[in-house]
Structure 1
Amino acid sequence: MPSPSDVRAERRRLIESIGALRRLLADRRAFEVADRRRLSREARDRGRAETAHGKALHRIHEQRTRQEASLTHRLSALDGEHERQEGQALAVLRRRSIERALSSAHLTASEVNGIGNGLIRSLAAQGIGTAADFDDVSWGKAPNGKGGDVLYIHRTSGGKVHINGIGEHRGRPLLEWRRSTLARAQARAPHKLPPDERHRIAGIIEAERVRLREELAEAPQTAETARAEAVRLHAEALDLLTAATGEAARIAAERRAEFDAMAEQLLDLQSRLSAHVDTYGDAGRRVRRAQNRALRPIPQAPPLPGIPSPRAPGDAATRVGLTKATGRTGPHPVPGVRASPGWLVPILYFCLTAVVGVGELGDNTAHPSMMIASRLVALAATAELLRLWLPRIRTRTAGPLPDGTGRQTSGVFLALTAAGMFEDENSDVFGAACVVSVLAAVLFLAGTGSRIVEADDRTSRNGAAT
């Protein structure tokens, strides 16, 4: 039989070992949160890669469609282009022929009536010697501003000049000579292209047609090459993501296995501590407090979906009678689940009702018995909700409120509302108050039944565990 000091020393050793493991296991929640973020980040990166790949393929398809449409339109427009180029070439040929004819039509005294050699020399001095050197005549103010209007000759190269001695009687024959010369040149100008020029234009159009057809035939192959390159780049990106994901998953699995092993070791130490307590009994007040802390349930981090843990420490927990050792009767902690902060709303409402009562607003005065009863009911509801809600918002004892609490709360709320309606002297709501009372009773009884059933299930599970 070991001495009391040896018992306390052994128990302290077990408690210290459990505390050390608990401190190590405290990092598991942060690890699981970081691993969830890693998985979300990997899924987001993979989604971005898929989106970028889809956009690249769509862009390649649009480029091919636009290129094929453009080439097809240009091919269909080549026939009109042939006619247009022939028309342009014929217009250039006619213009050159007319210019040559006008340039060869020299101005002489015998060609224009009324114009002698002196005026011809004056015109030549101003750069007008052929029909190509001017194109029109007009009246305007004299250069010196005196003598009224004079006749100006418009030069083809630009500008206009006045020749003394050429007025209306000499200017009209000069313009008619130029017009008749232009008409003869236009009549003698070619009206069709020469065969060699037509063949040259046809060759240019046909070469352009061949080139466009080659580009149209190469468009699918070009698009397919670009698509293959996009697929290759996408596959490389996915391979890099897969490699990085696999390495991160391997490291996370190893780390999770370490946590599971520590959890199993902690459960084993708790089992040994429970057995030590059962064997040697109490070891003192100071040791008892540390012992109770050491026998607290292990906070379990919620496993990631689709990632089974390499170990199952929860199965090993059935070997340790923690309920019997700790004697806990409070709420069972549920990892990751806390009571909703929304329960503060009914708690505050019942607190206010416990102060002001029901049916006592304005000039209305409730019966004394109703004043007392309503405040007692509101105070009891407030105390019950606080008793259930406060432990379940803490980290170590987090969990949802018992099933049926919401229906019970709604029933009490409707009951207080119906009481206020009964006490209202200014309006006739007796029928509505009766309906609300019946509904309040139904909800309260239903919630109470759910609470009783849940308590019975918990008692049967605890009995089976012991």
Structure 2
Amino acid sequence: MIDSTPTRRDGSTPAPPSTVPYPSATRAERRQLIESIRALRRLLDKRPAFEISDQQRLNREARDRNRAEAIHGKALQRIHERRARQEASLSQQLNGLDGKRESQETRALVVLRRESIERTLSRTYLTSSEVNGIGKGLIRDLAAHGIRTAADFERVSWEKAPNGKGGDVLYIHRTKGGKVHINGIGQHRGRPLLEWRQSVLARAEARAPHRLPPDERHRIAEIIDAERVRLRKELAEAPRAADKARKEATQLQTETLSRLTTAEEEASRLAAVRRAEFDAMAEKLLDIQTQLSAHMDTYGDIGRRLRRAQHRALRPIPQAPPLSGTAGDAPALVSLTKVTDRTSEPHPTSGTRAHPAWLVPILYFTLTTVVGVGELGDNTASLSLMITSRLVAFTATAELLRLWVPRIRWRAASPMPSGTGWQTSGVFLGLTAAGMFADEHSDVFETACVVSVLAGLCLLAGTGLRIGKDTTSP
């Protein structure tokens, strides 16, 4: 006969349940221990969220440091580029000063000659002795219209008369604008008048200076020298300005890093205090579990109502996830994916969704389920082909939807299984070959045979990849 009397953990045998009294104080003490364990577990359940939040803080601090370093690097790059552009521009201006001096001297000489010619023309008065055929009366008429010197008119031309009658007349074009017609001055008098002005202009150009005076050349040289001194000073100042800007950028970077370090140290200190509180609670929970075990060894089972609560209270404490970095260093960014104990199950990869392009074969197979293959136009497919093609297309549609729909969700995102593309291509080519075989109006039998062989190869390759993936997956 087998002895069913329970044995305590210390080896002693408690009294039968029917003879052992269970006073209310013992039950209350047992319940108090269980409630204390429950309260501590509720507090410790907040630790995973705290660890995730602290890891997010470390990642955020790492991003802030990386951003500060990137900003500092871009600032130094901009300073270097600005200095290079400034030095190149100043060097180009320095090299072009000689050409600038020559151009300024040329422009000054042009202005000087023009002024000399204008003075000569304005001092040469029109007289009856200078122009053949023009007497004192015409001289007075010309003066009445503002033409007294060679500088007062430019040219002559033949145009229609002011009243539109009498044909063309000669007009004298004034330098300040406008044209006048003098009665008595026609072709025979207008040509000598124009030749007189051209001869005066030729003499004025010949007498005009062909070189700048020394004082004018000296003035231009002083302007160019002053410009050269200024450019050289700016060129020498460019490195010092770049160094100053670089020091300011470095000082700003130092202040930013110091501020980040201070904030990180304070956050790490608070996190360490909070983590120490969780550790203290875990130790206290172990002590109370030890007390509960001792209480159970002393008094044994005191009722069915507390049996399940005791079992749940004595569960092991979940271990806290380890940290991937410390507060003093710049930790690398860590993915906060929840880890479970079911390592044999494939975990979805958040962010890697199935491609939306899978909608194309899904829509094609859906359309084929409705219209079939080999039934468009004047073709009439056999009953077996009509049924088989629709069943194959419906099966392919259902399978693709089964694989694709869960994988486009964010929480269950993952790529399509390996070999699905080959299988889809094989079904597509198979339906195409069936439609070609059913085509009665064109001779595509050989092409249909080739397409059907390719469909079989694609199906075999896709099935092999799917089976191989399933067998090698843990």
| 1:119-153: CA deviation from partner (whole Å, max 9, x where unpaired) | 11111111111000111111111111111111111
Distance 1:92 1:343, change over 3 A: closer
Q: What pairs with 1:417-456 in structure 2 (closer than 5 Å)?
A: none
For 2:294 and 2:189, locate their aligned partners in 1 and report how far apart those are by CA, in whole Å: 142
Q: Which amino acid aligns with 2:207?
A: R
For 2:43 and 2:339, locate their aligned partners in 1 and report how far apart those are by CA, in whole Å: 19
For 1:298 and 1:187, locate their aligned partners in 2 and report how far apart those are by CA, in whole Å: 113
SS of the residue corresponding to residue 116 of structure 2 reads: helix
Give the alignment partner of residue 201 of structure 1, picking from 220, 233, 242: 220
Residue pair 1:151, 1:168 contacting (<8 A) in 2 also:
yes
User: How big is the shift at 1:307?
Assistant: 4.3
Equivalent residue, structure 1, for 2:81: 62
TM-score (norm 1): 0.67
Give the alignment partner of residue 177 of structure 1, picking from 196, 216, 219: 196
Query: Is there any run of 5+ residues in structure 2 with no aligned partner, and where?
Result: 1-13, 15-19, 328-337, 349-383, 386-455
1:337 aligns with 2:356: no
1:79 aligns with 2:82: no
1:253 aligns with 2:272: yes
| 1:48-90: CA deviation from partner (whole Å, max 9, x where unpaired) | 1111111111111011000000000000000000100111111
For 1:143 and 1:171, locate their aligned partners in 2 and report how far apart those are by CA, in whole Å: 18
User: How big is the shift at 1:264?
Assistant: 1.3
Distance 1:131 1:292, change over 3 A: same
Residue pair 1:71, 1:212 contacting (<8 A) in 2 also:
yes
SS of the residue corresponding to residue 237 of structure 1 reads: helix
Equivalent residue, structure 2, for 1:45: 64
User: How big is the shift at 1:3?
Assistant: 5.7
Equivalent residue, structure 2, for 1:282: 301
Give the alignment partner of residue 35 of structure 1, picking from 54, 64, 77: 54
For 2:340 and 2:143, locate their aligned partners in 1 and report how far apart those are by CA, in whole Å: 110
1:226 aligns with 2:229: no
SS of the residue corresponding to residue 134 of structure 2 reads: coil
Q: Which moved more, 1:268-277 or 1:203-212?
A: 268-277
User: How big is the shift at 1:40?
Assistant: 1.5
| 1:211-252: CA deviation from partner (whole Å, max 9, x where unpaired) | 100100110000000000010111111111111111011001
Equivalent residue, structure 2, for 1:303: 322
Give the alignment partner of residue 145 of structure 1, picking from 128, 149, 164: 164
Equivalent residue, structure 2, for 1:95: 114
For 1:246 and 1:49, locate their aligned partners in 2 and report how far apart those are by CA, in whole Å: 17
User: How big is the shift at 1:280?
Assistant: 2.0
For 1:134 and 1:105, locate their aligned partners in 2 and report how far apart those are by CA, in whole Å: 12
Q: Which moved more, 1:271-280 or 1:64-73?
A: 271-280
Distance 1:343 1:191, change over 3 A: closer
Residue pair 1:25, 1:259 contacting (<8 A) in 2 also:
yes
Residue pair 1:36, 1:304 contacting (<8 A) in 2 also:
yes
Equivalent residue, structure 2, for 1:266: 285
| 1:177-236: CA deviation from partner (whole Å, max 9, x where unpaired) | 000000000000001111111111101101100110010011000000000001011111
SS of the residue corresponding to residue 206 of structure 1 reads: helix
Residue pair 2:47, 2:278 contacting (<8 A) in 1 also:
yes
Residue pair 1:98, 1:189 contacting (<8 A) in 2 also:
yes
TM-score (norm 2): 0.66
Equivalent residue, structure 1, for 2:125: 106
Equivalent residue, structure 1, for 2:6: none
Q: What pairs with 1:319-358 in structure 2 (closer than 5 Å)?
A: 336-337=339-340, 339=342
Equivalent residue, structure 2, for 1:4: 22
Distance 1:153 1:255, change over 3 A: same
Higher helix share: 1
- Number of positions where the alignment pairs a residue of Structure 1 with one of Structure 2: 334
Among the aligned pairs, what percent are the same residue? 68
Q: Which amino acid aligns with 1:166?
A: I
Equivalent residue, structure 2, for 1:356: none
Equivalent residue, structure 2, for 1:373: none
For 1:147 and 1:342, locate their aligned partners in 2 and report how far apart those are by CA, in whole Å: 110
Q: Which moved more, 1:101-110 or 1:263-272?
A: 263-272
Equivalent residue, structure 2, for 1:387: none
For 2:300 and 2:55, locate their aligned partners in 1 and report how far apart those are by CA, in whole Å: 44
Equivalent residue, structure 2, for 1:319: none
Q: Which amino acid aligns with 2:204?
A: A
Residue pair 1:133, 1:157 contacting (<8 A) in 2 also:
yes
For 1:74 and 1:33, locate their aligned partners in 2 and report how far apart those are by CA, in whole Å: 61
User: How big is the shift at 1:338?
Assistant: 5.3
Residue pair 2:58, 2:325 contacting (<8 A) in 1 also:
no
Distance 1:34 1:8, change over 3 A: same
For 1:254 and 1:279, locate their aligned partners in 2 and report how far apart those are by CA, in whole Å: 37
Whose RCO is larger (CA < 8 A, sep 6+)? 2
Query: Is there any run of 5+ residues in structure 1 with no aligned partner, and where?
Result: 309-334, 345-361, 364-428, 451-466
User: How big is the shift at 1:342?
Assistant: 5.1
Distance 1:307 1:229, change over 3 A: closer
Equivalent residue, structure 2, for 1:372: none
SS of the residue corresponding to residue 220 of structure 2 reads: helix
For 2:121 and 2:325, locate their aligned partners in 1 and report how far apart those are by CA, in whole Å: 95
Structure 1 residue runs of 4+, over 3 Å off? 338-344
Distance 1:114 1:34, change over 3 A: same
Q: Which amino acid aligns with 1:230?
A: A
1:190 aligns with 2:193: no
For 2:38 and 2:321, locate their aligned partners in 1 and report how far apart those are by CA, in whole Å: 22
Aligned-residue CA RMSD (Å): 3.1
Q: Which moved more, 1:240-249 or 1:263-272?
A: 263-272
Residue pair 1:302, 1:336 contacting (<8 A) in 2 also:
no
Distance 1:196 1:343, change over 3 A: closer
Equivalent residue, structure 1, for 2:448: none
For 1:154 and 1:147, locate their aligned partners in 2 and report how far apart those are by CA, in whole Å: 20
For 2:347 and 2:66, locate their aligned partners in 1 and report how far apart those are by CA, in whole Å: 39
SS of the residue corresponding to residue 132 of structure 1 reads: coil
For 1:122 and 1:101, locate their aligned partners in 2 and report how far apart those are by CA, in whole Å: 23
Q: Which amino acid aligns with 1:150?
A: V
| 1:272-317: CA deviation from partner (whole Å, max 9, x where unpaired) | 2122222321111111111112112223331221349xxxxxxxxx
